[in-house]
Structure 1
Amino acid sequence: MAVLLTLLGIVIVLVGLWDIYHSLLHPSGTGAIGGRVQTAVWRISRRTGHRFGSAVGPGSMITVVLLWVLLQGVGWALVYLPHVPQGFTYSPGVDPADYPDVLGALYISLVTLATLGFGDVVATDPWVRLATPLEALTGFALLTAALTWFTQIYPPLSRRRSLALELKSLADVGYADGIAQEDPVTTARVLDGLAAEVAKARIDFTQHGETYYFQEEDPDLSLARQLPYALELRERAAASASPAVRTSAGRLGLALEQLGQKLREDFVRTGETPEEVFAAYAADHGREPVR
């Protein structure tokens, strides 16, 4: 039984570390466990009409971090359990017989993981003494990874908001309606800039998939609401008499198709054309798309 508990604990620890690696260090940016947790939180929010608004994204990330902590805490507790209490010495006043071995192992694990080091319980078993520093190192790495995860999402969110504001400003002045009268060089430059920003948004959804679950309270900053206008720009530019404008329209169209494919495969799971995918994206975020 001792060997079985130890092996089970090691497996749980490794599964948690594997998910952390895939969420923070792997190019895909999405762990299997963390990604499912965030999807579940998002679905609950959607069923309540996104009542919690912009808190859903950070809340889902906090939930994932707590799950990582739980996996590490439980995993290491199972490693310690066969050695509790005989593999530890306890401070005066602490009687291990007063507590179930399971709770004692979990307490030791969580204190070690948090690198608190109260000193009321000290490992004496040689193998356990070797394991506790490893868990403390894991806990420090987990804390650092969690802080890094929260800080690295803001650049993608800023780029997405910037693109949304750019599309809104073009929609407000009716840029698509006046493309035929605009200077072709200027129009091509505007379209090329949009294509580059759309491509960045696609990369951000690939590397930082958790940012999909961040809902904007300000509709002007919501890419889900503003993105359909890029399709209108593409259609009007594709009908231009200028070859340069048509080429830029093709680049923008390709970028939009690639973004739509990413959204369809990883998030909305519906739609065949970019128009359908972007409409589903807007509906998923509770927004009315700009036409």
Structure 2
Amino acid sequence: MGIVLTVAGIVVIVTGLQDMFHTLLHPSGKGHLSRLVLAGIWSVSKATGHRLGSAVGPAAMTVVVVLWVALQGAGWALVYYPHLPGGFTYSAGINPADYSPAAEAVYVSFVTLGTLGFGDVVATNHWIRLASPFEALTGFALLTAALTWFTQIYPPLSRRRALALEIKGLADVGYAGHLGAVDPATASRVLDGLAANVGKIRIDFTQYPEGFYFQEEDPDLSLARQLPYLLKLRDDAIGHKELDVRLSGEQLSLALEQLTTKLKNDFLGSGEDPGQVIAAYAAAHGQTPRT
């Protein structure tokens, strides 16, 4: 029985560590469990009209971190359980018979994971003494990784909001409608800058997929609302009389296709062309597309 519990504990521990690695360290940021949690909470928020607003993203990430902690704590508790109470010594005044082995295993596990070091329960079993420091290291790494995860999401969000504001500014002055009167070199430079920024957003959705689940309460900062205007700008650029502008329009078109393919495949699952995907993106974020 002890071997079965130990193996089960190791499986739980490895599952949690693997999900942490794929979410935080892998270039694609695709932890299976974390993605299920993020998508699940987003679906609930969407079904309720995004009543949580901008809190849904941070709340979902917090739940993922709690899940990682729970997996590590539960896994190590399974490892400790067969060795309680015989494999541990207790401080004076603590009678192990007063506590159930299961509760004691959970207590020892989370105290070790939190690197609290109370010293009231100390392992004497040789293998447990060797293994428990690894749990403490895991707990320290988990805390550091969680803090890093929360701080690294804000630069991608800033880039997304900056692009939304840039598109809004162009839409407010009707830039697409006046493209024919703009100096071709200037028009190409603007279009090339937009294509480059759209490409950066695509990379952000690849490396920081959790950013998709951040809801923007201010429509001016919502890329989901502002992005449709780029379709109009793209069409007018491709139909321009100057070759440089047409080429820049083609680059913008390619960038939009790559971004919408990423959105469709990884988050939305619907849409046959960039326009439909962008409309689905706006709907998922509770925004009315700006045209």
1:247 maps onto 2:247 in alignment: yes
Q: Does 1:59 align with 2:25?
A: no
Task: Give the letter aligned to residue 44 of structure 1.
Answer: V
- More moved, 93-102 vs 113-122: 93-102
- In structure 1, the residue matched to 2:191 is 191
Question: What SS class does the counterpart of residue 174 from structure 2 fall into?
Answer: coil
Structure 1 residue 92: Cα displacement: 1.4
Instruction: Give the structure 2 partner of residue 161 of structure 1.
Output: 161
Superposition deviation, residue 8 in structure 1 = 0.5
Which letter does structure 1 place at the counterpart of 2:221?
L
- 1:134-173 aligned at under 5 Å gives the runs 134-173=134-173
In the alignment, the residues of structure 1 paired with residue 93 and residue 111 of structure 2 have an alpha-carbon distance, to the nearest angstrom, of: 18
User: 1:96 offset after TM fit, Å?
Assistant: 1.4
> Equivalences for 1:114-263 in 2 at 5 Å?
114-263=114-263
- In 1, the alpha carbon distance for the partners of 2:129 and 2:276 equals 58
Query: SS at 1:78's partner residue?
Result: helix
How far apart are 1:93 and its partner, in Å? 1.7
Aligned to 2:81: 81
The correspondence of residues 3-18 of structure 1 with structure 2, limited to 5 A, is 3-18=3-18
CA contact (8 A) 1:192 1:248 kept: yes
Unaligned ranges ≥5, structure 1: none
CA distance in 1 between partners of 2:197 and 2:227 (Å): 11
Cα-to-partner distance string for 1:248-269 (whole Å, 9 max, x where unaligned): 0000000000000000000011
Whole-angstrom distance in 2 between the partners of 1:249 and 1:212: 26
- Residue 102 of structure 1, CA deviation: 0.6
* Residue of structure 2 equivalent to 1:278: 278
- Displacement of 1:97: 1.2
Note if contact 1:163-1:197 (Cα within 8 Å) is conserved in structure 2: yes
* 8 A contact 1:184–1:242 mirrored in 2: yes
Q: How far apart are residue 167 of structure 1 and its match?
A: 0.2
Runs of 4+ in 1 over 4 A off after TM superposition: none
Distance 1:30 1:55 in 2: 22
Q: Identity rate of aligned residues, in percent?
A: 64
Aligned pair count reads 291
Residue equivalent to 2:289: 289
Distance 2:146 2:112 in 1: 17
Q: Report if aligned partners of 1:220, 1:226 keep a CA contact under 8 Å in 2.
A: yes
Deviations 1:161-184 (A, max 9, x none): 000000000000000000011100
**2: CA distance between counterparts of 1:93 and 1:244?**
83
Instruction: For residue 79 of structure 1, give the secondary structure of its aligned residue in structure 2.
Output: helix
Instruction: Letter of the 1:12 partner, please give it.
Output: V
1:220-271 per-position Cα deviation (integer Å, ceiling 9, x unaligned): 0000000011111000111100000000000000000000000000001100
- Residue 116 of structure 1 aligns to a residue whose secondary structure is coil
In 2, distance between residues paired with 1:206 and 1:45? Answer: 22
In angstroms, what is the RMSD of aligned CA positions? 0.5
After superposition, give the CA deviation of every residue in 1:136-175 in whole Å (9 maximum; x if it has no partner): 0000000010011001101100100000000000000000
CA distance in structure 2 between the aligned counterparts of 1:218 and 1:238, rounded to whole angstroms: 31
- Does the CA contact (< 8 Å) of 1:30 and 1:210 recur in 2? no
2:107 partner SS: helix
5+ residue gaps, structure 2, are none
Structure-1 separation of matches of 2:190 and 2:8: 57
**Aligned partner of residue 14 in structure 1, secondary structure:** helix
- CA displacement, residues 166-224 of structure 1 (integer Å, 9 cap, x when unaligned): 00000000000000111000000000000000000000000000000001111100000
Give the Cα–Cα distance (whole angstroms) in 2 for the partners of residues 43 and 225 of structure 1. 19
Q: Normalised by the size of structure 2, how large is the TM-score? A: 0.99
